[in-house]
Structure 1
């Protein structure tokens, strides 16, 4: 990885001028207190924005206000895992921040070539590749500006996006 690539998500998003796309392909990610609370029956008070708005949401909202198109595609197995059920529930926050979100059932991906890792791509110039353990624990990330690597993954994202269902139309199964 060349040292000229900013090596934090915040820097990459702050530097984005046109686009930021995020592909998620796991059915379970590392746990967190909000997910655990949801499992216990806790729900978000959507009328109290200060209770759920996070710095991440503000970063997305700031990027969108600058004209950056932020899209997230989630490839999911059905029936969905509890984690995906929770993600679907809390995606309202992402949408309110300005993200466009779509869902693609894994059963509808046989005709697609898909990457093996989750990633973010910024302005079709830099890819942030995520590494997770089998149980969903975060292991790290790597940034690359290899043009061919970015182009292949960007093309895969676009194919997934075209097949995916907009968040407000996707029904949890």
Structure 2
């Protein structure tokens, strides 16, 4: 089933225990992020106020005992997008997200799904379908056992290889 943006966002208040996210692209072009990345590219300051709603949601969730984990599989040297993403990750960490950076060279023998995803409570996976330019096309849900197993196994294989955000240093 395909979800719109509001339906997708609502899932972050509906899960019970764990939300895990695997990102495998080196760049994205989401409408929300592009203006902020453009500021960063020119050295303009960004107060990151646009992240506040997300960080509040994560903070409330973690205070209620929920877990938010994100693994970024990245090419090195990092793309400009990933360098920018790294630069804005601290508010996510402060809110309670666990974030790891996983160099792509470490994951050659790991089976991945074809798309980035969020997996909620090991019961619902939401695949992110992107256009070639990084714009989101749609969010597609699955509760198929094979999809759930693949996504869980991929994340579980990547997570221990990841470098915690505060330890991942940019060159």
Superposed CA RMSD in Å reads: 2.0
Q: What's the TM-score, normalizing by structure 2? A: 0.89
Which residue in 2 is equivalent to 1:26? Answer: 25
CA distance in 2, matches of 1:156, 1:53: 27
Q: Greater CA deviation, 146-155 or 88-97?
A: 146-155
Structural mapping, 1:1-173, within 5 Å: 1=1, 8-30=7-29, 32-45=34-47, 51=49, 53-173=51-171
CA distance in 2, matches of 1:87, 1:120: 18
Q: What's the TM-score, normalizing by structure 1? A: 0.88
List runs of 5+ in structure 1 lacking aligned partners. none
Per-residue CA deviations over 1:52-83 (Å, capped at 9, x if unaligned) read: 54211111111111111110000000111111
List runs of 5+ in structure 2 lacking aligned partners. none
Instruction: Sort the Cα spacing of 1:27 and 1:151 in 2 relative to 1 into closer, same or farther, 3 A.
Output: same
CA distance in 1, matches of 2:129, 2:2: 19
Give the superposition deviation at 1:44.
3.9
3-state DSSP of counterpart to 1:11: helix
Give the superposition deviation at 1:2.
10
3-state DSSP of counterpart to 1:8: helix
